[in-house]
Amino acid sequence: MQPETETILVLDFGSQYTQLIARRVREQNVFSVIYPYNTPLEKILRLNPSGIILSGSPANVYQKKAPFPRPDIFSLGVPVLGICYGLQLTAHLFGGNVKRVKHREYGHARLFIDRREDLFRNFPSRIDCWMSHGDQVRKLPKGFERIAHTSSSPIAAFRNKKRRIYGVQFHPEVVHTPMGAKIIGNFLFRICRLKGNWTAGSFIRDTIKAVRTQVNDERVVLGLSGGVDSSVAATLVHRAIGKRLNCIFVDTGLLRLNEREQVRTIFKSHLHMNIKIVDASREFLRALKRVEDPEKKRKMIGRVFIEVFQREAKKLGHVPYLAQGTLYPDVIESVSFHGGPSVTIKSHHNVGGLPSKMKFKLIEPLRELFKDEVRKVGRSLGIPKELVDRQPFPGPGLAVRIIGEVTKARCDLLREADWIVMDEIKKAGLYSNLWQAFAVLLPIKSVGVMGDERTYENVIAVRAVTSQDGMTADWARIPPDVLARISNRIINEVRGINRVCYDISSKPPATIEWE
């Protein structure tokens, strides 16, 4: 970001909603970043935030080793908004009293507004909100006043107007607080007095300028997958340095039907980029022989990808820069904010980082964006709709949609079935309403009957989900007639499949991908 960019700093204390807070700020054209709660003051000063939001937390302010920020953040002269734990933390640090209560508040609550100004400017006298807490502020610190309450929380929002410090006990960032966006908007524009000028256009201009400054007259290499992230990253870098960008597209043999030709057409013919297409399908399939464990598959695919990419990059000669489509959630997840070990559910969907011995200097033009923001930038750049609106596709490709060993025959089988799923979803006008829809090849066979003969063939599971960001997802209620057409076509058109199932599990407890 450019130094003059208005920035809201979100300090993360471990809330499940922290990313939502940052997104709600950005939706109002104000740039936001998430830092760990214990970020050194020097780093915060370099950011030069226009305001600070303190997230919620599963912790209690009075417990041992409770997460506390640097107390100096309240002396920076910028407005502060505490949410849930953030409110309790503010009260505690300023000498108020926070206690556990018998009657906890979880879920819907009616908020009664006592001061309909600044944070609650132009609000009705009561609104719906979403609570999630077992502690309450029982005594206000000196200099603070109550501005809202509920029937169970005498102090559901407070302020120190002189110091521009505010707190709310509820969660304005969730959809269950219908006027939550307006509360955040009032904090941004009435209290922080921001302009809200962070847009896709301003991001593109700033990024192109930054890439040109960083690269100077040198060349850049980029591993192009044909997905939204790498495509938008490639287009941004190409706008900045033109033909000095060299894209490498690796055909792993794990791609969807006609994907290689689609990438060639869009990036060579339409966007006029330098792109080298490498068919390494035999290498990948050979490496995956007799590998069934999902984690081993991912790691094997990552290792082979690095080997192929490294080999092809060397052929280009001296290229000091590597561009990647890293997104902001990847950056956030790479840092442990909560001080404890985390369990690996599975390796990241993307093929993965390249080894340090390759000596590249990194260019990550999208590392400050969420997925929906990347799509907005892509549209502003004029990237074809079928690419910008493309559903997420895992880096390991069809390998994590084939349960068990990956072979060319099984890939070909899944490719055909998956194409039918997508074709029918698009014909039904459902594609843009779904986060993802795809076919999974199961490691079992079932008995069937075709043409009065017994069959013993493969089973396909169809997976379709709705989601805002992929962090949680619900199974899609696809109309039965669409599912019927998908099943009928797969069984009739794909030789070797005699049964189709529909996955009706949500995330959590399931994941979106099967592996």
Residues serving a catalytic function are 84, 171, 173
Q: Residues 350-389, buried b or exposed e (16+ Cβ, 10 A)?
A: bbbebeeeeebeebebbebbbbebbbbbbeebebbeebbe
Contact 381, 239 (CB under 8 A): yes
The amino acid sitting at 459 is: V
Helices (H) and strands (E) in the chain, counts: 14, 18
> Own/partner pairs for 425-433, CB < 8 Å, 24+ apart?
425/464, 425/478, 425/482, 425/486, 428/479, 428/482, 430/476, 430/478, 430/482, 431/389, 431/391, 432/389, 433/466, 433/476
Contact 232, 383 (CB under 8 A): yes
Q: Residues 271-306, buried b or exposed e (16+ Cβ, 10 A)?
A: bebbbebbebbebbbebbeebeebeebbebbbebbb
- Cα-only R_g, the chain: 26
Angle at 354 between CA 349 and CA 359, to 5 degrees: 160
The amino acid sitting at 51 is: G
Nearest to 88 by CA among 182, 162, 158, 14: 158
Rounded to whole angstroms, how far apart are CA atoms 465 and 469? Answer: 11
Nearest to 76 by CA among 199, 163, 182: 163
Contacts of 482 (CB under 8 A, 6+ apart): 424, 425, 428, 430
Angle at 396 between CA 392 and CA 397, to 5 degrees: 60
Structure tokens at 434: 């779904």
Block residue for tokens 């109002």:
28
Rounded to whole angstroms, how far apart are CA atoms 76 and 128? Answer: 33
Is residue 178 helix, strand or coil? coil
The amino acid sitting at 318 is: H
How many C-alpha atoms does 20 have within 13 Å on its Cβ side? Answer: 20
Ordered alpha helix ranges (H), 270-407: 281-287, 294-314, 328-333, 371-380, 385-388
How many C-alpha atoms does 403 have within 13 Å on its Cβ side? Answer: 14
Contacts of 168 (CB under 8 A, 6+ apart): 81, 82, 83, 84, 87, 119, 148, 156, 157, 183
Rounded to whole angstroms, how far apart are CA atoms 482 and 462? Answer: 12
